[in-house]
Amino acid sequence: MTLRLADSWIWDSWYAFDGELHHAFYLRASRDLGDPELRHRHPHVGHATSSDLRNWTVLPDALSPSEEPAFDDWTTWTGSVVRDESGTWWMFYTGSTHSDGGLVQRVGAATSEDLITWTKAKDVPILEADFRWYEELDTDFWHDQAWRDPFVFQHNFGMWHMLVTARTKTGPTRDRGVLGHCVSRDLRHWTVLEPLTPPGAGFGQMEVAQVEEVDGTPTLLFSCGTAELSEEARSRYGSGGVFSVTGPSTLGPFDITTATRFPTDSVYAGRLVQHNGSWGLIGFRNIENDEFVGEITDPTPVTSIPGLGLIPTDAFGRSLRGTWSPQDRHERQGQA
């Protein structure tokens, strides 16, 4: 059973496991808005739990926009959840504010002891793009100042790292998509670094990124819509969707020009989630039959192959890469 709400659309999601239950956090907005495109400015962070990633119990919302003035007084958008050494859960999330027309994105944090009740961390500095490396707002060139979808992870049980949807300062507009990179020792104080990935791969943005070691292979996952692909990338992939690329570690380096598109037409904002030792890809159902669906999929079993990226598998864990269509295959796959 998919995670569907009768009264709300659902889109981007992120996950945490407390040792017994999987917790899904997701963006939701009322279907009473009529036009699903309006959902982006009317979101709440929903919450549901499951023992198997298929049957869900919906809980009260985890986060909502703050009272003005605040960096998140208009929207609370996509994030990620990690647990620190003391056992406190941290949710890093995207915010936008009425004061700048909602065009500048920033990253904030909230904490919880039980994954149920969340308190916004007022004492943690808000993270913003550093214009030494990242694009400043210019609506004649791009529609926002991208600094969103924080994915936080610990590398080799040491420093905390954050990946952020961002854009570089120079280059063709649909070649500027990169992953912003920040580091921290304590999850409270962060340093913004130059991008983790280079521009020039034909992606105007690399949304909802995640890195995991999938069956022993360090794998980067991200999404990009068709409209944000360069002409060359659109010719290569056919359309936008969920993309992956492998590297020597979860910090890369990653050659984004070798990314492969996961073979799905409507699923977007994919997330890798592990259950009972096996990996699955979960995303939201986007446009089908010219209509927005807005619900979370069941997990698709996957593995990752060095140099190829994410591959769907059958119930026995066997690769199904031979079923990929030509437009989902990169030239490298035909040589593998």
Residue-wise pLDDT for 226-245, tens only, equals 999 999 999 999 999 999 99
Is the CB of residue 158 less than 8 Å from the CB of residue 167? Answer: no
| Residue 316 neighbours by CB distance under 10 Å | 6
Which CATH code, of 3.40.50.720, 2.115.10.20, 2.170.190.11, 2.130.10.10, is assigned to 8-335? 2.115.10.20
Residue 327 pLDDT greater than 60, yes or no: no
Average pLDDT, the chain: 93
79 pLDDT more than 90: yes
pLDDT of residue 318: 62
Degrees, nearest 5: CA angle 298-300-302:
150
Model confidence band, residue 317 (pLDDT cutoffs 50, 70, 90): low
Question: What value does the mean pLDDT take over residues 83-88?
Answer: 97
What pLDDT, on the 0 to 100 scale, is given for residue 319?
60
Q: For residue 300, what pLDDT is reported?
A: 96
Alpha carbon of 141 to those of 55, 138, 145, 257: distances in Å? 43, 6, 10, 23
321, pLDDT greater than 60: no
Parallel, antiparallel or unpaired: strands 291-292 and 241-246: unpaired
Q: Could you give the CA distance from residue 55 to residue 203 in angstroms, rounded to a whole number?
A: 35
Mean predicted confidence (pLDDT) in 116-131: 96
What's this model's pTM, rounded to 2 decimal places? Answer: 0.94
Confidence band, pLDDT 50/70/90 cuts, at residue 332? very low
Q: Which of 267, 260, 240 is nearest to 324 (CA)?
A: 260
Task: Give the pLDDT confidence of 143-158 residue by residue, as tens digits.
Answer: 999 999 999 999 987 8
Q: Between 329 and 135, where is the model more confident?
A: 135
**What's the pLDDT score for residue 265?**
85
More confident residue, 210 or 323: 210
